Structure 1
Amino acid sequence: MTRGATGTAGPGTVSVPRLPGAADGGRLSTVNAGPRPAVAGFGTATPPNSYTQREMLDLFRIEDPRIRSVFLNSAIERRYLTLPPELADGTRKTETQGELLAKHKEQGVRTAAEALETALKRAGLALADIGYLCCVTTTGLLTPGFSALLIRELGLPVAAGRLDVVGMGCNAGLNALNAVASWSAANPGQAAVMVCAEVCSAAYVFDGTMRTAVVNSLFGDGAAAVVLVTDPGGKAPEEDEDSAPRATLLKFASRIIPEAVAAMRYDWDDTHGKFSFFLDRDVPYVVGAHAEEVVGRLLAGTGLRRADIGHWLVHSGGKKVIDSVKVNLGLSPHAVRHTTGVLRDYGNLSSGSFLFSYERLMEEGRVRRGDYGVLMTMGPGSTIETALVQW
């Protein structure tokens, strides 16, 4: 539990003190609420090259009408990818697992570094200010991981605390943010950074089947970073009236669905000699059916209702996933406009998708101090992760 909190923080919560009136329907308040981690900066980055869905079909000479339909009806217009080298006959090289891993390392470090530096710049901080670094990825396995590689690449403090979260999937950004928020709350005044680096084009198998076509039509490459700082004075950070409000992290809630543990997985494919994604066709409905429950637990004890949430930042997991969550939570298309916009312009960016939506929300300039927001990610497990924030 964070210093200054006056109540008990249960599992999966960060600094949600019991305020007068909260137990009997009152609202959470930032006034005298105790120290909470706040988003001081954020940043995103992508590879230099992007492709429309139609361009991808043409580049890989895909003529099967069923597969073309999957690509063209995905609600995705463009994705940033690092494609295999082109061969003399115009086709694309079939990359080995080793070559894919090298791509994961090279592109992951490059985009992660760019996103991290942007986030620090927005926070008004320097590389030397980082006290804790958490790196998240699912698209490759490296030892040492991205945290060590970024410290070497950027010259980050060698005494910084580190954590690498590997293999948790698209939900991992909020799993990691929970850990980073806890470190931030325990170390007021120090900068804690989370970086999600996903090179999904380093995890593709091209074999012309519907199984791989669904995956190949969906994911894109990109990195996102967020900087958290907890005010050492035990209060919400003071902000200039003309500056954009900062989101404070109030609470986390999770829901794992063990019976759907095999519905989303990234495992070894003996046929191709490399790792391969698998997505069950019923994933959207499984996730949607449990969304209301986990959001209910997230808001429990806060005095807030779903109608009080002004901003919803849901993982851009795919058109059917977004639609299912939207229907089950009773959200309007406007409420998930950034989620659908990120899917349209980038595809599914795995663990960092919700931060791309966060960036769009903040650049939109409509957030007001006092607004509440819910962050939601979904992934293997099957798992739903949520966080409650207030600006």
Structure 2
Amino acid sequence: MRRPHGVLRTADVEHGHDLLPPTPPTTVGVIEAVATGSPRRVVDQRANAARVADLFADPAQRQRIPRIYQKTRIDTRHLAIDPLEPEFLEFSRKPATIRERMNLFFEHAVPLAVDVARRAVENLADPAEEIGQLIFVTSTGFIAPGVDVAVVKQLALSPTVNRMIVNFMGCAAAMNGIRTAVDYVRAHPDKKSMVLCIEVSSVNAVFDDDVNDVITHSLFGDGCGAVVIGANQVHQPLAAGSVVIRDSFSHLFDDAEDGIVLGVKDTAITCELATSLPDYIYQGVDPVVSQVLARNGLDKAAVDLWAIHPGGPRIIEESARSLGIPPEAAAPSWDVLAEHGNMLSVSLIFVLERMIRDTRSAAPISTGVAFSFAPGVTLEGIVFDVIRS
């Protein structure tokens, strides 16, 4: 009887065969398509700061709020709803609104998610046959049957499609989704996986005369991003614009549980960022990334693209400081932050899309590292190659 590939018997271990290196992979995960989208409503950050300041009676707070908004280095954000609109403001101050907010999430998330997902699969000959897995990612809305079911039905995907939901992994959730998708397509090389991320933070906005609410509202924007991932044989040619996932990584920092805290209250889903978070990032990023690069035969000098989660200026700055690279090395992250704010899981897909479309590089391949942060605090990321030609 033929022994299954990769299985070690007792005799193998006794002869030291367990010390042999693992068999090199025969397939790699490849991002074949990327699509992004945003709500049509664009909010100017400076104008919004003035509107928020008008909500406070305390003159000191009114003066402080524009400074808070200015420090975000955000120019505009896209929001599904205007949380400062009088009717929503009145609603948001009522107790026990969580169910209504989740219904609002569904109402606004479905059309955006369907549009982005449809564009992500538009080059597939038969999406219903080819998409074997749908990974739906969000931290801003919980309802089932939810957006994933609506996408399956409205795109006429197969009713046998493997659905997976990634909730409450915060800003790093796209990395979790991509890692899971790569595992799937390598096990099912005849199928593709679509990772669909959507965040509608605006439905959770609360203004209760609390400056912490102001800080939260000043950062978060709404958006949607999708990637289609397939499997490809190692060393086989790929189309320009393809992204090879070389490796993925996850690392839980020590004693950092307070850094990012997501919660569900009777009024809304909440996100609390500790003042210690930038220090956790500075202390934690470089050791992890350097180790991951080393196991791939790389060092930081070999990295052409740094996709750092655009969660706010301190997130990018402390990540860059930890890595010993200039902050401007993460230029696409700064651009996404300025135009969209922090879209949680969606943000890195926007950054990757810009890197793929950047045609300035003359090199046939651009090697990159993308990473973000989840509650824990956990560093989640990928090492990738963008195929230029």
Category of TM-score, reference length = shorter chain: 0.7 to 0.9
Describe the SS at the equivalent of 2:219: coil
Describe the SS at the equivalent of 2:40: coil
Q: 5+ residue gaps in structure 2?
A: 7-20, 57-61
C-alpha displacement of 1:281: 1.6
Q: Deviations over 1:11-48 (max 9, x none)?
A: xxxxx9777xxxxxxxxxxxxx6310111000101111
Given candidates 63, 66, 69, the residue that maps to 2:67 is 69
Q: Distance in 2 between matches of 1:87 and 1:215?
A: 19
Give 2:215's aligned amino acid: V
TM, length-normalised to structure 1 = 0.85
Give 2:304's aligned amino acid: G
Describe the SS at the equivalent of 2:140: coil
**Deviates most, 337-346 or 374-383:** 374-383
Question: Are 2:171 and 2:345, in contact at CA under 8 Å, matched by a contact in 1?
Answer: yes
Question: Are 1:194 and 1:225, in contact at CA under 8 Å, matched by a contact in 2?
Answer: yes
Q: Deviations over 1:301-335 (max 9, x none)?
A: 22210100111111111101100001110222332
C-alpha displacement of 1:289: 1.3
Q: Deviations over 1:187-225 (max 9, x none)?
A: 113221001111011222212322111111000000100
Give 1:117's aligned amino acid: R
Query: Does 2:252 correspond to 1:260?
Result: no
Quote the residue 1:146 is aligned against. Answer: 147
**Deviates most, 53-62 or 112-121:** 53-62
Q: 5+ residue gaps in structure 1?
A: 6-15, 20-32
Quote the residue 1:49 is aligned against. Answer: 41
Query: Does 2:352 correspond to 1:358?
Result: yes
Question: Are 2:51 and 2:84, in contact at CA under 8 Å, matched by a contact in 1?
Answer: no
Quote the residue 2:187 is aligned against. Answer: 186
C-alpha displacement of 1:124: 4.0
Matches within 5 A, 1:1-391: 34-60=26-52, 61-62=54-55, 64-81=62-79, 82-84=81-83, 86-87=85-86, 92-95=89-92, 96-121=97-122, 123-128=123-128, 129-231=130-232, 234-239=233-238, 244-269=240-265, 273-367=267-361, 368-391=363-386
**Deviates most, 301-310 or 94-103:** 94-103
Question: Are 1:317 and 1:378, in contact at CA under 8 Å, matched by a contact in 2?
Answer: no
C-alpha displacement of 1:85: 7.7
C-alpha displacement of 1:236: 4.6
Q: Distance in 1 between matches of 2:278 and 2:205?
A: 21
Where has structure 1 moved over 6 Å in runs of 4 or more? 16-19
C-alpha displacement of 1:103: 1.9
Q: Distance in 1 between matches of 2:112 and 2:376?
A: 27
Question: Are 1:313 and 1:339, in contact at CA under 8 Å, matched by a contact in 2?
Answer: yes
Question: Are 1:38 and 1:229, in contact at CA under 8 Å, matched by a contact in 2?
Answer: yes
Q: Distance in 2 between matches of 1:58 and 1:334?
A: 29
Quote the residue 1:24 is aligned against. Answer: none
Q: Distance in 2 between matches of 1:290 and 1:4?
A: 38
Q: Quote the RMSD (CA, aligned, Å).
A: 2.4
Give 1:86's aligned amino acid: E
TM, length-normalised to structure 2 = 0.85
Q: Which has the higher helix share?
A: 2
Q: Distance in 1 between matches of 2:84 and 2:347?
A: 27
Describe the SS at the equivalent of 2:72: coil
C-alpha displacement of 1:277: 1.9
Give 1:83's aligned amino acid: D
Q: Go from structure 1 to structure 2 and tell me whether the alpha carbon gap of 1:366 and 1:139 turns closer, same or farther (over 3 Å shift).
A: same
Q: Go from structure 1 to structure 2 and tell me whether the alpha carbon gap of 1:229 and 1:278 turns closer, same or farther (over 3 Å shift).
A: same
Q: Distance in 1 between matches of 2:234 and 2:259?
A: 43
C-alpha displacement of 1:145: 3.4
Question: Are 1:263 and 1:279, in contact at CA under 8 Å, matched by a contact in 2?
Answer: yes
Question: Are 1:17 and 1:34, in contact at CA under 8 Å, matched by a contact in 2?
Answer: no
Describe the SS at the equivalent of 1:142: coil
Q: Deviations over 1:48-69 (max 9, x none)?
A: 1010112223444346111221
Q: Go from structure 1 to structure 2 and tell me whether the alpha carbon gap of 1:314 and 1:141 turns closer, same or farther (over 3 Å shift).
A: same
Question: Are 2:316 and 2:327, in contact at CA under 8 Å, matched by a contact in 1?
Answer: no
C-alpha displacement of 1:379: 2.4
Q: Go from structure 1 to structure 2 and tell me whether the alpha carbon gap of 1:71 and 1:104 turns closer, same or farther (over 3 Å shift).
A: same
Give 2:121's aligned amino acid: L
Q: Go from structure 1 to structure 2 and tell me whether the alpha carbon gap of 1:86 and 1:112 turns closer, same or farther (over 3 Å shift).
A: same
C-alpha displacement of 1:282: 1.8
Q: Go from structure 1 to structure 2 and tell me whether the alpha carbon gap of 1:282 and 1:307 turns closer, same or farther (over 3 Å shift).
A: same
**Deviates most, 378-387 or 317-326:** 378-387
